[in-house]
Chain A
Amino acid sequence: MTRHLPLFVLLAALAAPAAHAVEYRTVLPKQSTIHFEFRQMGVPVKGGFKRFTTQMVFDPAKPEAARAQIEIDLASIDAGSAEADDESAGKLWFNRSAYPKATFVSSQVRAVGNNRYEMRGTLTLKGRSRDMVVPVTYAPGHSAAIFDGSFILKRLDFGIGEGMWADVATVANEVSVTFRIAATGN
């Protein structure tokens, strides 16, 4: 029995901190979503992106060391209708043949209390990069932790909807973006 004690102590020592402070780094794509909503002639229109990859590291004990990188396949857009999906690929919108992806790369994460965090980073869309501050909430769960965030993006900052579409009275400049990333520590 005593011969096994060192191994048991070693396992316990490894397991104990893991139980209290998981480092989340495996994202579950099927439980993760990116949605957006904008107003068109005063009418709220909902959409989203079906395909995106997320790389992240988050340890609630060391939030300042957290990192996240999201890459969105713009071809997976749901812009509210088939007609709008097609239109969004064009030069005036995403110019998808030249810029097929959107990326977000975090630069700094700061805890603001109550499982709420402020994530700073750079969003690159249509070849234009802008620094953003994104509030994120962290909800630990049994099977996966959930990271929810939302922010307002001004589409004209990125040249999304140029020319005739730059008229914000028809399609509003503000696009509300909501995301949910599910991740495990395995």
Chain B
Amino acid sequence: MTAEIDTTATPSAAKGPIDRAAGMGRRWLRLRGTLGVLVTQLVVLAAFLAFWEYATGQNKAAAFMFGSPSAISKFLSQMAYDGSLWRDTYVTGLETLLGFFVGNCIGTLIGLSLWYSRFVSRVVEPFVIALGSIPIIALAPIIIIWFGTGLISKVAMSTLSVVIVALVTSYKGATGVDPDQINLLRTLGASKFQIFRKLVVPASLTDIFAGLKLTVGFALIGAIVGEFMSSSEGLGHAIFKAGSLYIIPKVFAALVATIALALILTFAVGKIEQLLMPWRRQLR
């Protein structure tokens, strides 16, 4: 019976040279596509910076109000030289990472385990919605009273910004599992824990990672808001201090560092996602 199987599908190892050449052609086309996008993005950015530089160069008041790319880069190199750029980025990065990690761990754990009991999840639901609707900044004064003005209070702010989103996305993932798939595992004799571990958790990974990507930004916002309230270092502190002294280009310089931090963290999450979900990579 094996001889009758569809001959159209052969294992990829058996592909001929023509297929391989076609594959390379496709890869080149795809590369050219992404290259085109990248070049266009750079052109748009350069045009924006050039306009900014030109407009603020004409007018002293505008230069004071809006800074200019050249002034920003001057501050950036100065901050890099005196080490404050690295120090502030490190501090905010650490707060963000810790808050991101703790918040996602707690949120995902609770969100997934709510799958276990329909009763508990129904009891908890209004409380989650209520907690989720609190603007985190409103909690900042209490957080500082409870946790002081050091690292812990910023991590707490960051954690709080993340935890509800992580809970909701992971719960959504867990309850979105195809009931037929659950039935299949039941007919194979799986216990509730086996269904949880072998089906619900891996099936929720897609939603969990969507939540992770979303919460990178939230964790950073939490850390920066915490630094705004009271701090002696960090990018939020640098932004706040430069702002109060009306040094606008320095505000932008710290903002550039913040954006870079956010991009690096988002990129890292994407890489981890690819590592943990290899079956999604094969789709492309």
Are A and B associated in one complex?
no
